[in-house]
Structure 1
Amino acid sequence: MTNNGKWDRRSLFQGAALLAGAAATAPLLGTAATALADTGDADALFKAGKFDQAGRAYEEILKKDPANLHAARQRGYIGLLSNRFAEAEKYLKMALQLAPDDKETNSYLGDCYIRQDKFALSAPCWEAAGEDGYAKWFAAVSGEAYQVHGDIARLEIKQMDPIPLVEGSVNGGPAKRFMFYTGAPNLSLRASVAKEAGLSPVASQKIEYENGMIWAYYGILDSFKLGGIELRNVPVGWSSTESGEDVGTDSDGLIGTWVFYHLLTTFDYAGRQLILRPRTPETARKARAAAASAGAQPLPLWLAREHYLHSIGSFAGVAGSRTGVVGVNLGGTSEIAAGVRGETGKQLGIRSDYDREIGTFGSSHPAVVYPCYPKEIRLGNAVAKEVYCYTNPNSKINVPWPFGTGFDAMGWFSHCFWKPYNITVDFTDMKLYIARGKAA
């Protein structure tokens, strides 16, 4: 979406463009961060990714200063990171009482509502946040959104590279090719597919995209079927050039995080399939048992800024290693195993080839990155050594609202890292399970 026609974090996530690091983030945790943690400084704890400790520190601030807008807003944001909705609403509403027009608070509360499918409640929040497109879109959602029908779907990944593709049906039509990517928010379609499905926009905007202008449209899809799982009443977006043509033709659409957080999904890279199940306590219990039998340890899962997934991981170079919150990008277009912030690469002594400039796009804007080769990257028991990655010297360590998460960023794990594994994302207990080999 845009503000006054200018690109912002929700501009248009087509999956090919998040290589420069605008996708997921990770703080640097080392001796310096530990020293900061000992001071009890709430902001330092938050930036270091110590969210529970930061939450307690903000609570102490609020006990002494109940009118502290920053502390209330940050405490609500921390609850939102873990999908603790009652907690998030409590503190974000407290912040709104202090400053009803605060755009940052309104955007967090709007996100909190859409994660619970409370779209009507979210609309005024997005309007107050200056996101008119979101406000119009979500106000148009009526009835129960994201209705899940069916017990299980096993979708073959028809193509793995350069983009992973699975098949789905739009409004009962013939099979279409969909990329999947957790670096993108909503379900999106090609303009020609939206037209074929009979979709009409409830909101539209003209936005910047890859040095040009396109039209972005937003509507409601009656039915989206993925194998044995059908979703009904689904918010959907599509885009076209100014002349009305499709923006891209590599796929017929993109399945983003909003679809996946309504399901219990296993991204079975090793088995070349997506396994989709309804998100229930029973399916979560079975997933935990299957992960445990496969030797997968539960990792924490955080969801930031509407769709960016995070967990705990590490990067290493010749100068040492660091562990902390890392971005988790599943799917998308990328030949790399991970993205590394420029300053992170220098601090850790990660070997980087600055003689081989690579021109790409980051969040729909031009970017320059360089090959780099960390000694090791790790997420739980999943590890890769001396593997091909990207680094961007101009990518900032900390990107605040409205374009980033607000905590220090080390890097993110990308498409190629996952290929030996199956990954289950549980948005009920907010856990991530990674096991080597095919899913059972």
Structure 2
Amino acid sequence: MTGDGNWDRRSVLRAAAVMAAATPLLGGTAVAQAGDADALFKAGKFEQAGRAYEEVLRRDPQNVHAATRRGYVALLSNRFADAEKYLGRAVALAPGDKQVNRMLADCFTRQDEFGRAAPHWRAAGMESEAKWYEAFQGRPYEILGDEARLPWLQMDPIPQVEGSLNGGPPKRLSFYTRVGPLNVSARTAEEAGLRVVAKEKIEYVGEELWFYYGVLDSLRLGGIELRNIPVNWSDGDSGDDSDGIFGTSIFYHLLTTVDYAGRKLVLQRKTAARQVSGEVLPLWLADDHLTFSRGSFDGSGQRVVALHVGGTGNNVAGMYEGTAKALKIRIDRDRPEETAAGGQAVSVYPCYPREVRLGGVTARDAYSLAGQQPGHEGHGFDVLGEFAHSFFKPCSVTFDFAAMKFSIARVSTI
């Protein structure tokens, strides 16, 4: 809905959702109890839902759905011990379940335990991912240096910073929280001497492309160097002047501050001490790279919202057309816009909510977009909409993936 542009290729590969319908191994009173837990989960009341799923499991230890959802609740908050416990139980009960294996693979991947992740990627039907992670030797995502303060080369149409691959010349790299690992252009991949360890053919906006998987020895971003990290590229044209784009898979290895107002990206080790500015909100991570918190549109009350930090677009927010209608937000149907989402061309319409609020930061009567299709299906929980690139321009935001907190402060008026 927010105009992801041609770089959102990993969403094509993630078309199999993290979590869809309930696993049909429920019965008797467990159905009602699981239904109650599902309602809490759907409403984004994750902690309450987790306790409700635990109660179901106490009465029915073989309940695959309850074990899966309890593990998923833990995974959303990077509580890996609980995630492994419950998702492992679900896999043991239903070893052929692709969705459960997909989540357990994600759990191990986030912990850089690629060897443990690979069999579950394969069981999830994602053979290229499995081969990719099997190709790693030694410790992935080794971090050298303590801090990087990267001035932006540009703000629009997409923020860019400077980085170096395998000791080569500086490259223009974009960033976006709707992207996972580093994704580079074919030219950049060739210059860096990248070797293909797996590949697959994908369709993107009606075009078939080869998508390649490799291992990058070194990515230097200012004072931080990341060694032995995953990298993707394809034989298509990115459509902009970026040499590559990186996202949440790199951000969650660090304490990440995206300072829009100061035009800089600050990356620090997770152990770095920092003084919190602005309001601190919960942070959830789904489908290995999609970030969520709580916010509101036009009196909706606090709901789960997606955080689309970086990326492109002049809109401050995006939402499903049905949501805009329900909240009586004005939609301008006379001016449809064409964009791409999930590798498919879609139409969106300008809309103008009276207020969108994230923490203590608001935008009023600001240009937003309404899409004909829900933009965040398949997670198992409702998503009100997303806060996009232009919303954050007067702000500084910090992602703390150790504490699973997101902070936002309005720094200046532009």
Q: Indicate how the Cα distance of structure 1 residues 40 and 103 shifts in structure 2: closer, same or farther if over 3 A, else same.
A: closer
Give the Cα separation in 1 of the matches to 2:119 and 2:10.
Answer: 30
SS for the counterpart of 2:302 is strand
Give me the TM-score of the superposition, normalised by structure 2: 0.91
The offset of 1:248, in angstroms, is 3.5
Cα distance in 2 for partners of 1:271, 1:206 equals 40
Aligned to 1:6: none
The equivalent of 1:31 in structure 2 is: none
User: Structure 1 residues 129 and 309 mapped into 2: Cα distance closer, same or farther (>3 Å)?
Assistant: same
User: Paired residue for 1:420?
Assistant: 394
1:407 is matched with 381
User: Aligned equivalents of 2:204 and 2:211: distance in 1?
Assistant: 10
CA contact (8 A) 1:58 1:75 kept: yes
Q: Which TM-score applies when normalising by structure 1?
A: 0.86
Aligned residue number for residue 200 of structure 2: 205
CA-based RMSD of the aligned residues comes to: 2.1
Structure number with higher relative contact order (C-alpha < 8 Å, ≥ 6 residues apart) = 1
Aligned pair partner of 1:144 in 139, 142, 160: 139
- 1:91 Cα shift? 0.2
CA distance in 2, matches of 1:113, 1:365: 30
Give the equivalent residue in structure 2 for 1:128.
123
Residue correspondences, number: 391
Pair 1:57-2:43 in alignment: no
Query: Superposition pairs for residues 422-437 of structure 1, below 5 Å?
Result: 422-437=396-411
Cα deviation 1:203-258 (Å, max 9, x = unaligned): 011110111111110000000000011000011001114xxxx4434200001110
1:14 counterpart = 2:7: yes
CA shift, 1:261, in A, is: 0.5
Q: Distance in 1 between matches of 2:121 and 2:391?
A: 35
Looking at structure 1, the residues matched to 119 and 251 of structure 2 have their Cα atoms a distance apart, in angstroms, of: 25
Amino acid in structure 1 at the alignment position of 2:293? S
* SS of residue in 2 equivalent to 1:322: coil
Q: Which runs of 5+ in 1 are unaligned?
A: 1-11, 26-37
Contact 1:178 1:253 in 2 (8 A): yes
1:114 aligns with 2:93: no
The reply on whether 1:329 has 2:308 as its aligned counterpart is: yes
How far the C-alpha of 1:333 sits from its partner, in A, is: 1.4
Quick one: distance in 2 between partners of 1:428 and 1:118?
17
Contact preservation (8 Å) 1:107, 1:125 = yes
Q: Which letter does structure 1 place at the counterpart of 2:222? A: G
State the match for 2:350 in structure 1: 371
Matched, 1:312 2:290: no
Determine the structure 1 residue equivalent to 2:261. Answer: 270
CA distance in 2, matches of 1:429, 1:40: 30
Match of 2:175 in 1: 180
Per-residue CA distance 1:174-200 (angstroms, 9 max, x = gap): 100001000111111101111001111
Q: Which residue of 2 aligns with 1:279?
A: 270
C-alpha contact (below 8 Å) 1:221/1:236 kept by paired residues: yes
Q: Deviations over 1:235-284 (max 9, x none)?
A: 1001114xxxx44342000011101100111000000000111112xx1x
Instruction: Report the Cα distance in structure 2 between the residues aligned to 1:102 and 1:321, rounded to whole angstroms.
Output: 36
Distance 2:46 2:138 in 1: 35
**Offset at residue 17 of structure 1 (A):** 11
Sequence identity, in percent? 53
Q: Name the aligned partner's letter for residue 147 of structure 1.
A: E
Q: Distance in 2 between matches of 1:17 and 1:125?
A: 18
Secondary structure of the 1:59 match is: helix
Q: 1:249 to 1:416 in 2, by over 3 A?
A: closer
Aligned twin of 2:22: none
CA deviation after TM superposition for structure 1 residue 15, in Å: 4.3
Q: 2:323 maps to what in 1?
A: 344
Residue type matched to 1:299 in 2?
A: L
